[in-house]
Structure formats: structure tokens, C-alpha cells
Amino acid sequence: MKNRGLALKLALLILTSITLIFSFVFIYNYFFSRQIITDNIEKNANSVASATVNRIDSVLRALEKVPENLAYFLESFSYDGGDIMQLIHSVIENNPEIYGATIAFEPYAYSSNAARFAPYFFKSKGKVEFTYILYEYFYADWYQIPKELDRPIWTEPYYDVGAGEIVMTTYSVPFYKTVQGERKFMGIVTADVSLSWLQEMVASIKIAETGYGFLITKNGTFVTHPASDFIMNETIFSVAEAKGDAQLRELGREMIRGNSGFVPFRSMVTGDNCWMVYAPLSTSGWSLGVLFPQDELMADISRLNRTVLFISLAGFLVILAVIVWIAGSITKPLRLLSKTTEQIGSGNLDVEIPMIKSRDEVGKLADSFNYMKSSLKKYIEELTETTAAKERIESELKIAHDIQMGMLPKVFPPFPDRAEFDIYAMLDPAREVGGDLYDFFFTDEDHLCFTVGDVSDKGVPAALYMTIVMTLIRTKASPGVTADTVLGLVNHDISVDNPSAMFVTLFLGILNIRTGELQYSNGGHNPPFLIRASGDLEPLETTHGMALGIDEHFSYKSKRVFLEKGEAIFLYTDGITEAMNEKEELFTEKRMEKELAALKERPVMGVIKGMLEKIEAFSEGVEQHDDITMLILKFYGG
């Protein structure tokens, strides 16, 4: 992901988010809409079921009244055989729904010489027919069950062959006689009722295409069902057994227990998923079930969901296309810019920045690139000029340095044919050109003039100043002149017209190489050391001179000292004593004296080089701020 292009990142992130949003919306919509429909179906189902149950119950309840009234009559009034015949006959005649009726007596209950008495009137081909029931009816369900239960019952439905293979059920009401305060069972009044109307009523329930209603008895036997094989043959439990469907069996048990409910259910006809509402008949205890096929009732919502899904997918594709286009329009100029920038980076400032027409951030970026490119170009041109100038100055400085260094005597030994003394000096400039100086020359045959100085400033001005000072010393140090005179003359010359207020400390000595007499004057410079033949180091006495270039009228004094054979004088600038290491500690005069004492036995060059090594060891490579200048003169005498 990190290394992928912007377009891909954009597409992935946005599309993932959109997919999540679409999915959430779709799933929510799917379940919520289904829930609404399911709730509506449940409401509708409950009302369909209760309406149907009420219609059936109202018919059955009206039919129940007929034998109940008959039983009431038998219990309340005295009657004879003619009354009974008349009663049953009128029941059949006056009640179109009742196909047959009887009053069946217990053995010898009607008459002491009739073991059975059960006159039966029934409809046949539109006429009312009569027969006695001749078989032992005492053990028939319609007789025995209400007798044993002591209450009226609706029998399990049965096929009546005589009435033309129609499904019938019988409502049986027991009746009693109170004899000497004891309630005695007398027999059963029945009404046989065709269930054709009930079958038609339930069969007329059509829910969508395949939804249907069915009715089961207390035993779970189907009274009506679209599958005609089921009617009066299968029970809901035998169907459950055939299908190995334990849930169906449990549902059947719920139904015959007289419970009601709304449950998911698989159609016994199509096998499709349905909901089923079930409710009991309050009269017979049978149970009505009505199936609501899910797929069909959900068809609209499924279509809606499909449409939503299609729109979502189409929207997804449109957004994909838009993202690809936007990402392309952003990244294409960016890629061009990036390629161009690479070329600029590699130094090609003349490359053309691609024209970007849009005025958006990318367009502005392209403008900025253009501006940056021209600025860079200008800057580099300027920089080239500046660098050239600087290089020129540097080379000039280098020349200045060379000239400066060229002024210093650098060939050692400088006077190889003179055995009276030995001299060595060095100047290590801190910058390209330094402000220190040293020099030595013969003023006449026997007198060697030598000097060490330090200009107050550094750099080119100091170098120029030093050049002037050196030139002046050479000019003023004529034969026979004294050190204080030279300093006075040089001081006078540089003090006059000195606008930059520069000054120089200077030590100047003139040694008679025959006698060892050293006459010297010190203009504010560090006092040199005498290295005595005894080995002692002793600073030269001061002449109380002032640095040169400050007071043109200053009067310098000279002092005189004699060097014995083998004795030497060591001159230096404050670049040595103020040499610094990393911890900003100074080299100090004390350390220099110590090192000098250690080095004094060496030849002149060895002393100077040794001292320089010590300073370098001390400073540990730290670049020094000040020039380092040393000069040593050793006297051997004539």
C-alpha cells in the first residue's frame, strides 16, 4: 500500500468505505423491510385465522344447540315413542346442515323390553328416511365417549358412505334422568353434520399463489388439506414421521393442545418456506392452520432489495469510474511534474515545466514549480558569478600570502658561510595571510638585525601592515643604527596617517656576531628568553616600549646584553602562549618555558620544530586563531 500509487490508494480506501456503507444500508434495508412485511403478515395472518375460526365456531355453536335442546327436552319433560320420532324428524327437516340425528338409549332405558332403542332419521336424496340403528352402538365413539366423559363431544370426522362419501362429524350430547335424587345416564342425542361447508370454507383460503389453509382434528387428522390424500387419512404426526420432521410433530402437538401461534413452517405441498398461523376452534377443539408463503409475500420486497442491490452496484461502478478519472487527473500532471523535477534535480534547469490548464491545487503546484525553476536558475546564475568572484579573491589572497611568505627569509641556514651564529625561524599563519612577522638581515659586516612582531589585526589588512612594517624596518635599519632608533623611526612612520588605528608589537635586536653584544628594544612585544650557557632560561629585561603605531612621538629605549658562546635567544608571538586546545585551555608561558627548557640542547631547527610539535600535541588539531611565530638565534662567536 505504501508504495502504491495515489490512484490505487484512493480507489481502495474510498471503495472499501463505500462498499461498507452500501452493505450496511442494504443489510439494514433488507432486514428492516422484511421485518415490516413479516409483522404485517403476522397481523394479517392472525386476523385471517381468527375470522375463519370465528365463522366455523359460530356455525358449529349453532348446530350444538339442536341436540342440546333435544337433550334438555328429554331431561325436562315426559315423552313417549311418538314424541321422540316427531322430534328427530323435525330436527332433520328444519336444519339443512344436519344430515342425520338419533336419540340412542341405554339398554332397557327406553323400555324394559328393548335392549337397544335408537331411531335414526337421515336425509337421502332430498327425502327424510328412517331406520333403527341395529348394531351394538354402545361401543361406538359417538356414544361411548360422551357417556364416559359425561359431557357433549364432537366426534372425530368420518366418511359417511351412505350420504355419498362425504365427511361427517357427530355432535353427541348425553342426557340423564333423575331417579330418587340420583342422576342416571339415559342415552345420547346426536346430530350428524356434513363438513362440506367447512372444507369449502377452509379450502377457499388462498394466500398469494400457494398459501392455503388446513384443519386438523384433536387427533391431528387432516379434515381439509390441498393434498387430498391427506384428508381423513394422514395425521399431522404421520406426515411428520414420513418426513422425519420432529419440528412438525412438535407443532402438531401444540395445535392439538389448543394453542395458537405464528411460526415459520415448510409447506407440506410445495416445500417452500412459509409462515403458519394456527388457532383452535373453541367448539370442537380442532385446529386451523393457514400458510403464508414467504417468497411470494416477500416478492415485492425481494424485488425492491434486488433493485437496491442493482442500484448500489451501479453506483459502485460509477464511483469507481469517477475515482479513476479524478485520481488520473490529479496524478497524471503530478507524475509529469515529478519526472520534470527529477530532470531539474539532475541539473537541467532549462527543462520545460508541463503546461497544466487546471486552476486547482495541481495547477498552482505547477506554477510554483515554474517559479521555483526560474528562481533556482537565477540563483544559480548569481551563485556562479559570486563563486567566480570569490575564487578570484581567494586566488588573489593566495598570491598575497605567497608574496607575504616570500618576504620572510625561508632558506635555512640563511648564511651558510657564517659560523658565528645559527638562526632558525618559522611562521605558521592562522589564516591565509597573517599579521605576524619575523626577519633578520645584516646591517653591516658584523651586525645581524633580527625582529619578531605581531600586528594587532589579522587578514589582508594585517598582512599589508606587516609588509609595510617589514619594509620600514629594512629601510630604517641602516649600518650603525641602534634598535631604539629603528623602532622610533618605524613607529613614527606608521603612526602618521594611520586611520585604521592598527598597531604592531615588535621586538628588534642587533647582535654583534663577533662580540656577542646584543642591543635590543622591545615595542610592547612578549619578552624573549635568553637560553644561558648554564642552561638557565631568563627573560630579557624589558625596555618599557609601547606597541608601534599608537603614539608617533613615543621614545623607545634600548638595552644591552652579552651573549656568551653557545647561548641563544628565543623569540615568539602570543600565538604560542595563547594556543588553545578543545577545552579552551591556553598553552601558557609557563608551559612554553618548560618545553623550551626541555628542548634547549637541540640544534636551532630542532628547538623550533620540537616546540611546534608540542603545541600541535597540546591543541589536538584545533584550528588556531592566531599566527604562531618563533625565532631562535644561537651565538657561537668569532
Partner 1 sequence: MLLGKSLIRSRMIAALRIIICCMPLLFLHKGVTAREKALKKASLIPQWVPQAQFAGYYVAKERGIYEKHGIDLTIIPGGPERQPSDLLKNRKADFATMWLSSGIQMRAEGTNVVNIAQMMQRSALMLVAKKSSGIKTPLDMNGKKVGLWGPIFQIQPRAFFKKYNLEVKVVRQSYSVNLFLRDGVDVASAMWYNEYHTILNSGLNPDELVTFFFHEHGQNFPEDSIYTLQDTFNRDPQLCKAFVTASLEGWRYAFTHPDLALDIVMENLKREHIPATRVHQKWMLERMKDLMPALGSHILTGTLHPEDYQKVAQALRENGLIREFPEFTAFYRNCGAHDEK
CB nearer partner 1, residue 144 or residue 443? 144
Peptide bond into 413 cis (omega under 30): yes
CB atoms within 10 A of CB 125: 6
Given 142, 278, 286, 572, the residue binding partner 1 (CB under 8 A): 142
C-alpha cell belonging to residue 83: 314424541
| Residue numbers 516-555 binding partner 1 by CB under 8 A | none
Q: How many CA atoms lie within 13 A of 503 on its CB side?
A: 16
Residue 64 is a binding residue for partner 1 (CB under 8 A): no
**Binding span for partner 1 by CB under 8 A among 201-209, 218-226, 437-445, 574-582:** 218-226
**Binding span for partner 1 by CB under 8 A among 146-154, 337-345, 365-373, 468-476:** 146-154
Give dist(CA 585, CA 583) in Å, integer: 5
Give dist(CA 548, CA 454) in Å, integer: 10
C-alpha cell belonging to residue 3: 508504495
CB nearer partner 1, residue 253 or residue 591? 253
Residue 107 is a binding residue for partner 1 (CB under 8 A): no
Query: Least CB distance from residue 200 to partner 1, whole Å?
Result: 21
CB nearer partner 1, residue 238 or residue 270? 238
Residue 227 is a binding residue for partner 1 (CB under 8 A): no
Q: Residue count at the site for partner 1 (CB under 8 A)?
A: 47
Given 26, 30, 73, 158, the residue binding partner 1 (CB under 8 A): 158
Residue 335 is a binding residue for partner 1 (CB under 8 A): no
Paired sense of beta strands 166-179 and 222-224, if any: unpaired
Which neighbouring-strand residues pair with 207? 211
Residue 95 is a binding residue for partner 1 (CB under 8 A): no
Which amino acid appears at position 169 of this protein? T
SS (H, E, C) 175-222: EEEEECCEEEEEEEEEEEEECHHHHHHHHCCEECCCEEEEEECCCCEE
Give dist(CA 215, CA 200) in Å, integer: 11
Give dist(CA 533, CA 547) in Å, integer: 31
CB nearer partner 1, residue 131 or residue 260? 131
CB nearer partner 1, residue 192 or residue 420? 192
Residue 156 is a binding residue for partner 1 (CB under 8 A): yes
370-397 b/e (C-beta count within 10 Å ≥ 16 → b): beebeeeeeeeeeeeeeeeeeeeeeeeb
C-alpha cell belonging to residue 336: 509529469
Given 87, 211, 234, 433, the residue binding partner 1 (CB under 8 A): 234
Residue 75 is a binding residue for partner 1 (CB under 8 A): no
Q: Using an 8 Å Cβ cutoff, are 168 and 158 in contact?
A: yes
C-alpha cell belonging to residue 381: 546564475
Given 10, 14, 162, 612, the residue binding partner 1 (CB under 8 A): 162
Residue 29 is a binding residue for partner 1 (CB under 8 A): no
CB nearer partner 1, residue 167 or residue 579? 167
Q: Using an 8 Å Cβ cutoff, are 248 and 236 in contact?
A: yes
Residue 253 is a binding residue for partner 1 (CB under 8 A): yes
CB nearer partner 1, residue 143 or residue 292? 143
Give dist(CA 248, CA 263) in Å, integer: 11
Residue 163 is a binding residue for partner 1 (CB under 8 A): yes
Given 52, 190, 340, 629, the residue binding partner 1 (CB under 8 A): 190
**Binding span for partner 1 by CB under 8 A among 11-19, 58-66, 72-80, 161-169:** 161-169
**Binding span for partner 1 by CB under 8 A among 227-235, 393-401, 543-551, 583-591:** 227-235
**Binding span for partner 1 by CB under 8 A among 247-255, 539-547, 581-589, 620-628:** 247-255
| CA 70 vs CA 102, 123, 322, 359: distances in Å | 10, 19, 86, 102
Given 233, 259, 375, 384, the residue binding partner 1 (CB under 8 A): 233
Per CB under 8 A, residues contacting partner 1 are 100, 102, 122, 131, 133-135, 137-142, 144-145, 148-149, 153, 155-156, 158-163, 168, 170, 190, 192, 218-221, 232-238, 241-242, 249, 252-253, 256
